[in-house]
Amino acid sequence: MASEHPASSTNPESADPAVERTDPEGEPGAAADAGPADGTRSRRDKAAALRHLMATEGETVGENTRGFNRGTDEAIGRLSNYEDLRKQARVIKEDAIAELPDLIDRVTEAVEANGGSVYLVKSKSMTTEELECNAHLEKEGFDVVETDLGEWVIQIAEEAPSHLVGPAIHKSPEEIATLFNERFNPDEPFSGDPDELTQFARDAVGEHIEGADVGMTGANFVLAESGSIALVTNEGNARKTAVTPQTHIAVGGVEKLLPSIRELEPFVELIGRAGTGQDITSYVSLLTPPTDSPVLDFDAPDESMEAGDREFHLVLVDNGRMAMREDSQLRETLYCIRCGACNNSCANFQSVGGHGFGGETYTGGIATGWETGIEGLDSAGEFNDLCTGCTRCVNKCPVKIDIPWINTVVRDRANRGGEDGEFSFLVEGLTPDAEPGGLDVQKRLFGNIETLAKLGSAAAPLSNWITGTRPVRAVLDRALGVDARRELPQWRRETVRDWAGGRASSADADREVVLYPDVYTNYAHPERGKAAVRTLEALGVRVIVPDVGESGRAPLSQGMIATADRAASEVYAVLAEHVDAGRDVVVIEPSDLAMFRDDYEKFLPERSFERLRENSYEIMEYVYGLLENGADRDALSGADGAGTLAYHSHCQQRTLGLEPYTTAVLSDMGYDVTTSDVECCGMAGSFGYKSEYYEVSMDVGQQLEAQFAGERDDGSTLVASGTSCSDQLEALFGEAPPHPIELLDPV
């Protein structure tokens, strides 16, 4: 590229602004002060940075991501074979990554046979080149222009992208107009009309493409057999950039390789639907350069053209990826096709955007995997805690990546890389966990919530009075990062286990179950547990409330995997005997049920996991089954029908597909039920209690508040399945909504 002429750079617009993005990274921009900083930043600084982002970018990010998210729901809904396509795509990616070295050899052979060249960039020292290609080229005297309009906007603004497929998703038309007015000083200032802005940008960028000597693109997929690249765009910029200049350079991560055109189909079917809600993007360009098509001379358009002497260079970037391939936990990150679904479906992302929930290059939940593999743990550790493990991205990922698990693993690794904290002594002794000494005290506190609950319950109500005082709350906030603006759980002296142990069980029951006494039900909300016991008994079921510990959900959410693993084994040891005795396991708290149904797969032998999974039920799911099998609904309260309900299901409950059981039972009992469709209440276990995230939590909660405000005014009763959701609704509306089971309670 011995030229001082403009080069033109592009990036497949709707799917891949990450590796192939060639915009200047990390330049100081409007949002730079809110981006990742050093790891020692205090909780207060982090809260301030997130507050700033929510104030400046949150509204635009929220509107755009929620729009995409609704669109993807609809597009997926129109697709009858969505699950089949996901499975196919997953298997193809698993195989391709498994045979990656072979695919690299094959694509090299094919591209060279076509007349192009292939470069495999291996060295870790190429990291900066990967991420700062534009800056590097500009230093060498090249004029580099982004051709995707979103990329172009952030290139002009000197900002980092805020989203995997919509790099300028944080900017409103008015802000773009202001930017253009400042930069281009037009005779007639731009007003913020999207048509006008697009027309201007199209013309300005188009000129550069016509005059460019080199076109640089990414590649959404690289086909080894034919040496082809697939570019997925809506604007048409990628193909224009690829085929207009004489020389085409395509830069892609090695994980983009697929064997051949035959494996591409499920990805083309999925990428637009999952990313932006389009059945297919405007263009899917399959290019096998160099072709011998003539190069256009825009200065002499009428001259007869001859077959062009075109050049093609394919740059395959390793830069940590081959090591990720060897990392059993990070490996599935390489299956990612950068559709952005995990950005859009994430409630926290909708509030803070990719400048908060993102690292050096990547954004959103999957960014944790990419940043850990490519930049290192420090980059990922800066934003990884914004993943609450709510699992709303899981069913949206077109290649079935367990994104919450990757976040948990990386959190665990970050925990183990930490230093001894200043306030560790405050939680020593509270913490019978299996974690290293350097674990952050806040994580250690929330990860050991069961110990705290036991102590709090034993000393209640005194413990509640003490922790409710202002000086204690101030210490909790400063030392442990428990936000003073949150109401703390009120521990109860009599637990569900105490209560159940002291009462006579119905003798002539048809069947027996064990009711799992989760920490929150047992120690803080025993009324839910009592209602569950009485309801099951009224439906002819004998209920045992066993002495069993916390499921491991609390430590898992803090990245304390060893502690969660130990809890899983202990809980299973208790429950297995009941399952063997023919008793089903009934669970009130959805996040604990999700452990039994999903997360325990990581911790238990396969047979044990399957046995518990198959015999575990959410309480309303179980009631539904009993009623369907002839149990007497007249034995329950509310059977006459009483009013309207506004029901908020729990995120993990929805991912498991269990929301319909609750709404069906409540409707069956005569209630008129409205449901929320926000992805999360914002509380998400400990997240909403944490000082640095309290405001994000409340911002997320405001979406739920907006949905239910009208219902509330019309006299609907609020109902929620999760303890967290219930606490959050109480914070938003001033009173704690009951669990649905309490509406059925025959007492």
Partner 1 sequence: MSLYPERHVIVVAASDVVPDMPAAFDRLAEEFDAGLDSQVLATGPSATGDMGSLVRGVHGPQEVHVAILEDR
Q: d(Cα 346, Cα 362) in Å, to the nearest integer?
A: 15
Q: Which one, of 446, 451, 360, lies nearest residue 411 by Cα?
A: 446
Least distance CB 187 / partner 1 (angstroms): 20
Is 226 an interacting residue with respect to partner 1 (CB under 8 A)? yes
Q: Give the interface size with partner 1 as a residue count (CB under 8 A).
A: 54
Among 178, 181, 288, 674, binds partner 1 (CB under 8 A): 288
Instruction: Please say which residue, 211 or 236, places its beta carbon nearer to partner 1.
Output: 236
Least distance CB 340 / partner 1 (angstroms): 12
Least distance CB 54 / partner 1 (angstroms): 20
The stretch near partner 1 (CB under 8 A) out of 234-242, 348-356, 613-621, 633-641 is: 234-242
Say if CB 593 and CB 656 are below 8 A apart: yes
Q: d(Cα 560, Cα 565) in Å, to the nearest integer?
A: 9
Is 176 an interacting residue with respect to partner 1 (CB under 8 A)? yes
Q: d(Cα 343, Cα 357) in Å, to the nearest integer?
A: 9
Among 172, 178, 490, 717, binds partner 1 (CB under 8 A): 172
Contact set for partner 1, span 144-163 (CB under 8 A) = 147-150, 153
Q: d(Cα 241, Cα 210) in Å, to the nearest integer?
A: 9
Please enumerate in sequence order all residues whose Cβ is within 8 A of that of 524, keeping only pairs 6 or more positions apart, or say none.
453, 489, 490, 491, 492, 723
Contact set for partner 1, span 118-147 (CB under 8 A) = 147
The stretch near partner 1 (CB under 8 A) out of 91-99, 197-205, 542-550, 704-712 is: 197-205
Q: d(Cα 610, Cα 615) in Å, to the nearest integer?
A: 8
Count of Cβ atoms closer than 10 Å to residue 237 Cβ: 29
The stretch near partner 1 (CB under 8 A) out of 22-30, 213-221, 232-240, 308-316 is: 232-240
Among 173, 308, 546, 660, binds partner 1 (CB under 8 A): 173
Residue located via tokens 């037009």: 186
Least distance CB 149 / partner 1 (angstroms): 4
The stretch near partner 1 (CB under 8 A) out of 15-23, 191-199, 369-377, 711-719 is: 191-199
Least distance CB 228 / partner 1 (angstroms): 6
* Cα–Cα separations (whole angstroms), residue 598 to 218, 553, 653: 36, 11, 11
Say if CB 168 and CB 154 are below 8 A apart: yes
Q: Which one, of 154, 182, 168, 205, lies nearest residue 6 by Cα?
A: 205
Is 195 an interacting residue with respect to partner 1 (CB under 8 A)? yes
Longest dimension (CA), the chain: 98
Contacts of 92-98 spanning 24+ positions with Cβ under 8 A: 92/258, 92/263, 92/266, 92/267, 93/334, 93/335, 93/399, 94/335, 95/259, 96/255, 96/257, 96/258, 96/259, 96/263, 97/255, 97/325, 97/331, 97/334, 97/335
Among 220, 285, 662, 686, binds partner 1 (CB under 8 A): 285
Count of Cβ atoms closer than 10 Å to residue 465 Cβ: 11
* Cα–Cα separations (whole angstroms), residue 535 to 148, 526, 543, 624: 59, 14, 10, 12
Least distance CB 27 / partner 1 (angstroms): 19
Structure tokens at 184: 């281009």
Instruction: Please say which residue, 283 or 689, places its beta carbon nearer to partner 1.
Output: 283
Instruction: Please say which residue, 227 or 358, places its beta carbon nearer to partner 1.
Output: 227
Contact set for partner 1, span 477-506 (CB under 8 A) = none
Q: d(Cα 676, Cα 708) in Å, to the nearest integer?
A: 7
Please enumerate in sequence order all residues whose Cβ is within 8 A of that of 70, keeping only pairs 6 or more positions apart, or say none.
277
Among 178, 291, 675, 702, binds partner 1 (CB under 8 A): 291
Is 11 an interacting residue with respect to partner 1 (CB under 8 A)? no
Least distance CB 346 / partner 1 (angstroms): 19
Structure tokens at 2: 């011995």
The stretch near partner 1 (CB under 8 A) out of 118-126, 289-297, 528-536, 690-698 is: 289-297
The stretch near partner 1 (CB under 8 A) out of 199-207, 377-385, 580-588, 690-698 is: 199-207
Among 198, 702, 707, 717, binds partner 1 (CB under 8 A): 198
DSSP 685: T
Phi, psi (rounded to 5 degrees) for 563: -70, -40
Contact set for partner 1, span 58-87 (CB under 8 A) = 64
Q: What is the pairing mode between strands 644-648 and 144-146?
A: unpaired
Instruction: Please say which residue, 268 or 484, places its beta carbon nearer to partner 1.
Output: 268
Cα angle vertex 617, ends 615, 623, to 5°? Answer: 125
Query: Where does residue 643 fall: left (phi above 0), alpha (psi -120 to 50 degrees), or beta otherwise?
Result: left
Least distance CB 68 / partner 1 (angstroms): 9
Among 12, 35, 36, 166, binds partner 1 (CB under 8 A): 166
Is 426 an interacting residue with respect to partner 1 (CB under 8 A)? no
Among 21, 93, 239, 273, binds partner 1 (CB under 8 A): 239
Q: d(Cα 147, Cα 155) in Å, to the nearest integer?
A: 10
Is 194 an interacting residue with respect to partner 1 (CB under 8 A)? yes
* Cα–Cα separations (whole angstroms), residue 474 to 100, 478, 484, 588, 691: 54, 6, 6, 33, 11
* Percentage helix, strand, coil for the chain under 3-state DSSP, each rounded to 5: 50, 10, 40
Instruction: Please say which residue, 287 or 452, places its beta carbon nearer to partner 1.
Output: 287
Among 46, 170, 240, 530, binds partner 1 (CB under 8 A): 240
Least distance CB 36 / partner 1 (angstroms): 25
Binding mask 242-281 for partner 1 (x = CB under 8 A): -x----------------xxx-xx--xx------x---xx
Count of Cβ atoms closer than 10 Å to residue 81 Cβ: 11
The stretch near partner 1 (CB under 8 A) out of 50-58, 202-210, 446-454, 497-505 is: 202-210
Among 160, 168, 556, 619, binds partner 1 (CB under 8 A): 168
Is 289 an interacting residue with respect to partner 1 (CB under 8 A)? yes
Q: Is the dihedral of CA 322, 324, 325, 327 positive or negative?
A: positive
DSSP 280: S
Query: Where does residue 542 fall: left (phi above 0), alpha (psi -120 to 50 degrees), or beta otherwise?
Result: beta
Is 115 in a helix, a strand, or coil?
coil
Among 15, 287, 445, 604, binds partner 1 (CB under 8 A): 287
Least distance CB 192 / partner 1 (angstroms): 7
Among 54, 137, 197, 406, binds partner 1 (CB under 8 A): 197
Least distance CB 709 / partner 1 (angstroms): 27
Is 205 an interacting residue with respect to partner 1 (CB under 8 A)? yes
Instruction: Please say which residue, 153 or 214, places its beta carbon nearer to partner 1.
Output: 153
Full DSSP string of 337-372: ----HHHHT-HHHHHH-TTTSB-SS-BSTTHHHHHH
Among 26, 39, 236, 418, binds partner 1 (CB under 8 A): 236
Instruction: Please say which residue, 233 or 464, places its beta carbon nearer to partner 1.
Output: 233
Least distance CB 382 / partner 1 (angstroms): 27
Beta bridge mates, 312 = 248
The stretch near partner 1 (CB under 8 A) out of 165-173, 311-319, 445-453, 625-633 is: 165-173
**Contact residues for partner 1 (CB under 8 A)?**
13, 64, 147-150, 153, 166, 168, 171-173, 176, 192, 194-195, 197-199, 201-202, 205-206, 209, 225-226, 228, 234-237, 239-240, 243, 260-262, 264-265, 268-269, 276, 280-289, 291, 296
